[in-house]
Chain A
Amino acid sequence: MTALGFLLDAAVVLLLVGLATRLLLTRHLFEAIVLFVSYGLTLSLAWVRLGAPNIALAEAALGAGVTGALFLNTYQRLTERIGDGPKSPLLEDDGSRDPPAWFKGVLGGGVLLLVLGAGWALLGAGRRPAFLPHEIAARLPETGVQNPVTGVLLNFRGYDTLLEIAVLVAAMAGVWSLDRGSRRFGRARGEPDEDPVLHALTRFAVPVTVVTAVYLTWVGSTEPGGAFQAGSLLAGAGVLLTVAGVLPPPTAASRPVRAMVAGGMAGFILAGIAVLPLTGQFLHYPEGWAYPMILGIEALLTVSIAVVLVELFVDVPAVPEPDPALESVDPSGDPLGRALRGKEGS
């Protein structure tokens, strides 16, 4: 049994290193993206083998799923713009801009040394028994939840999670500030349904996904699950609904969307402040209140994360339209189109 387990581990590790190497060396963008998604799914197997089902869930949904979707969507927008023309440097990297061979050689040598050094340092390190896991296990009842990862995320290290949602909101603000308002998702209302498969899939998958997401949020306090896994599932449903044209694409201009994006962070901060008079410490939940507060914060976080992820997906990959500011400098405008046409001519 352990021999079989070891074989499985060895296979997963070889697959991971092989996929990573191949996707970093290939010259075709589409191949790289497909390999990246495979890599993410293999990695979630590795997390299961390492006894971390919470992370396996997040990896499959976010690392492979959402990130892969972001890349695929970018690819799709680029090909739409280029059409079936000649091979474009956007999608096929011929390496002509890469640094010279001597630089690669020196860097390669340095990286090899680093691998050996890090391997020696980390694998040769002494195995002093850790005290932290036992400490966390002993004090878990104080957190109000039974899933130790949720306990760490929302109680012991609540600050980290607050800053994490702040990073999401900041990234959202960054993407909104890059946006040129060129969304081309879905159909206009009343337009005929072009894609019955997409429509059927949406009808079937969305209710199941929403129920699963609610379950994951709820169960996160005792079992693997929680706001981030549930939020990414919900985001999947949101993306399907947006692509199918059932929901209008969320935009920065919409007040409810902005409220939902900021809601998780705002609720988290308010909860942190609300407990101040009772316990004297920011985010230090009073006794007996930890569980309901964590559940409330998780519910808000789930919605925020879902909306941010849908919005990141819908907003980012649209290839920006010609920049009016640039057009005033360069009257021929549309440098992307010009570069592509130039490529066709040559």
Chain B
Amino acid sequence: MNPVDLYMLAGIVITLIALYAALTRAHLFWKVLAINLMGTGVFLILLAAPSRRTPEIADPLPQAMVLTGIVVAVAATALALGIALRVIARSGLPFLPDGDEEDQGSGGSAGEASR
């Protein structure tokens, strides 16, 4: 296994454990963190894939795409944190409100699961 394959594998693992965390952690800040990490995992795959095909020359196209992606991720994170803080200001809690507030018992977890 060559080093580039290692980074590719790391990209796959990080993307998917971050996907798992984004779906299973109810806390909004961890959702934002997890989505950030998913992005970085995809960037790793994007950059490692062309290096496997043409190791002798760095492909500038995916590099430009990843550069764009990093900047967009920062902007999206700032907006997401702003929205999370508005949720906190409204409910006092860093969680999305349950789908149906009447059914407090299993409603919350079902609401989470369906997302």
Q: Contact residues of A with B, CB < 8 Å?
A: 5-6, 9-10, 13, 16-17, 20-21, 23-25, 29, 32, 36, 39-40, 43, 46-47, 49-52, 54-55, 58-59, 62-63, 66-67, 70-71, 74, 77-78, 89-90, 93, 95, 97-100, 103-104, 107-108, 111, 114-115, 118-119, 122-123, 127-130, 132-134, 136-137, 148-149, 151-153, 157, 160-161, 164, 167-168, 170-172, 174-175, 178-179, 226, 228, 305, 308-309, 312-313, 315-323, 326, 335-340, 342
Contacts and interface: CB of A to CB of B under 8 A. Distances in A.
Main secondary structure of the interface of B (DSSP, over half): helix
15 contacts: A10-B6, A23-B37, A32-B33, A36-B33, A67-B74, A71-B29, A93-B30, A99-B26, A104-B24, A137-B57, A178-B83, A317-B85, A319-B85, A320-B86, A323-B90
A228 B67 contact: yes
Contacts of A46: 7, 10, 44
Given A32-B30, A127-B52, A70 B81 contact: yes
A64 to B, nearest CB: 10
Contacts of A316: 78-79, 81-82, 85
A98 B60 contact: no
Interface residues of B, number: 79
CB-CB nearest 5 A-B residue pairs: A339-B92, A97-B26, A171-B75, A148-B60, A24-B21
A32 B29 contact: yes
Given A98-B26, A103-B24, A317-B81, A168 B71 contact: yes
Contact of B75 (A36, A58, A168, A315): A168
Interface of B: 3-10, 12-14, 16-21, 23-27, 29-30, 33-34, 36-37, 40-41, 43-45, 47-54, 57-61, 63-68, 70-79, 81-83, 85-86, 88-95, 108-109, 112-113
B73 A54 contact: no
A140 to B, nearest CB: 9
A59 B36 CA distance: 12
Nearest to B25: A98
Contacts of A114: 16
B48 A50 contact: yes
Most B CB within 10 A of own CB, among A5, A66, A99, A119: A99
Contacts of A179: 82
B73 to A, nearest CB: 7
Given A74-B85, A99-B109, A66 B74 contact: yes
Nearest to A123: B5
A58 B71 CA distance: 8
